[in-house]
Structures are given as C-alpha cells and as structure tokens.
Amino acid sequence: MGVLAASRLSFAYGSDPVLDDVTVEVAHRDVVGILGPNGSGKTTLLKLLAGSLTPASGCVTLDGRALDKIPRRELARRVAVVPQETHLAFDYTVLEIALMGRYPWLGAFEIEGPSDLAAAADALDATGTAPFARRAFPTLSGGEKQRVIIASALAQLDDRAAPDPHQRDTHRVLLLDEPTASLDLRYQLEIGALVGRLRRDRDVTIVLSSHDLRLVGSVCSSLILLSHGRVLATGPTRELLTPEIIGELYEVRADLAAPLLP
C-alpha cells in the first residue's frame, strides 16, 4: 500500500480536460519522478496530490485517508510543496521564510519557540542556506531561492514539536514542481545533490516533476510518465528511462532522445 495514492483522478480547468483517469501510487521513502511534455498535466497532478486542487472525480489518499477528510493543518504537517518559482513582494529574510514552514505547528497567536527555531535552523543547514539566513529573500539568486523554499518545506515537515507521539513516525511527503527549471548547471547539480541527501538522511517520501532527464535518472527510483493527461507508463526508473520510451513520451525519434539520457 502506497503512502500517497491517486485513484482514477480526472480534472479540468473549465471545459479543458487536463487529467483523465490517472491512477498512481507512491511508496514510502520512494523518490518518484513525474515526466511528460509541456501541458501533459504534471503540475496539475502535483497540485491534486497536495490537496491544493480538488479533483473532478477520483480521489487522493494519504495512508488510506482521503485528502479532503484530513484537516488543513494536519495535512500541512505531512505534505509540503515546493512550487516552481516564488516571488515575494516584500523583503522577508531567509530565516523568516524558513520559519513560515512552522505555521501548521503553531496556535493562532503563538510565537515560534526554540523547537521551531531549531527546526528552521536544521532545514537551512540541510539546504546549505544557513550562511545567508539574515539576507532578504528577493536579493538571492534563483538557485538560492529554490533551496530556501525547500528549507521552508523541510521545516514544515519537521515533527519534533509534535505534542502527541502518535503524530510522529507518520509518513511525510515532499512535492517538488520542476525544482531545477530555469537554473544553471551548477544549481541543477546542487538541487540534485540535495534531493539525494534528503532521500538518504530524512525519512521523507519525495515526488518531483521535471524535464531534466539526468536529474530524474540520478535521484528517482521510479517514474510516472504523463502524456496528454493520461498515464503512459509507471515503473522503476531503469526500466522506463530508455530511448524508445522517452522518445515515445516526448513524440521524438528514439535516436534523438538517446543522447539526453543519463
């Protein structure tokens, strides 16, 4: 039984169908990559898995519970999302952004305590962003911003403050939407290394969408291939990352896809 499972999901923006009858399952501590051409529904699938969107039909379950039955804050303690890009209108510091991840752990008027600060500091350490904890977020480069948002998501999933031991050891999920899009080679490598470290060091299940075949090849253990809103194939990365299948997915000739594979 997977940690996160979507069964027969369909979704449409207005009258344009985006996802049609999508069934996928994500196993505990797996790193799953969602691959597919532009407009194939990757971001929409991630939003449905996060509970940000409500499916037109079908349902998403986390440990067997339907997402819309899980209270907002409880869901946020277990599922964190890193969007493709984050723009801020105001100059929050990096540490403040990381602390925003603690929102679902705090009461309405509660101020962040030592455990929240420790969770944020750990998350900044894990992403290599602690050296600029006091910098204003809008002054960072694209790769630095992406890592800070990942730190905020890690702080969000940190369950050290859980009042009740039952809430610990529950499965936690990190969803990343094209984490290396618009980043240069060095930052692509950094994000890839970071995902690899998270998989190794943290008890977290990761789902990421990407066009970056090398990233997917190096960090993902299994893949979901989306094409025109439908699942083309799911399975272990080594079986699916072949020139023939990738060529079919992106509707290009296999010999053109081959050099792009890791």
Partner 1 sequence: MTDALRPETHPSQPRPHGPSPPHLLRAPLTRGLPIVALSFVALVASVGLAPFVGSTSLSFTRVFATHVPFGDNVDAQIFLLARLPRAVAAALVGASLASAGVVFQSLLQNPLATPYTLGISAGASLGAMLAITFGAAFPLAGVAAASLVGAFLAVLVVYALARARQHGLSTTVLLLSGVTLNAFFSALILFVQYLSDFTSTYRALRWLMGDLDVAGYAPILAALPFLIVAFAAFIWLARPLNLLSLGADAAGTRGLDVHRTQRVAFFSASIATGAAVSIGGPIGFIGIIVPHLVRLMVGADHRLVLPVSAFLGGAFLVTCDTVGRTVFAPLELPVGIITALVGGPFFLWMLLKRR
Note the residues at the interface with partner 1 (CB under 8 A): 47, 50-52, 72-73, 75-77, 79-81, 83, 86-93, 95-97, 99-101, 103-104, 106, 108-109, 111-112, 114, 117-118, 120-122, 124-125, 128, 130-131, 133-134, 138, 156, 186, 189-190, 192-193, 196, 218-219
Q: Which residue, 202 or 231, has its beta carbon nearer to partner 1?
A: 202
Sort 224 into a burial class: Cβ within 10 Å, 0-12 / 13-18 / 19+. buried
Gyration radius of the chain's alpha carbons: 18
Nearer to partner 1, 197 or 230 (CB): 197
Q: Which of 67, 57, 74, 62 is nearest to 20 (CA)?
A: 57
Pairwise CA distance, residues 88 & 126, whole Å: 23
Torsion-angle region of 247 (φ positive above 0: left; ψ -120 to 50: alpha; else: beta): alpha
Q: Which residue's CB is nearer to partner 1, number 51 or number 229?
A: 51
Q: How far is the CB of 46 from partner 1 (least distance, A)?
A: 10
Write down the least CB distance from residue 232 to partner 1, Å.
26
Q: Check the CA dihedral 95-101-104-105 and report its sign.
A: negative
Residue 220 Cβ vs partner 1, minimum distance, rounded to whole Å: 12
**Which residue lies nearer to partner 1 by CB, 148 or 257?**
148
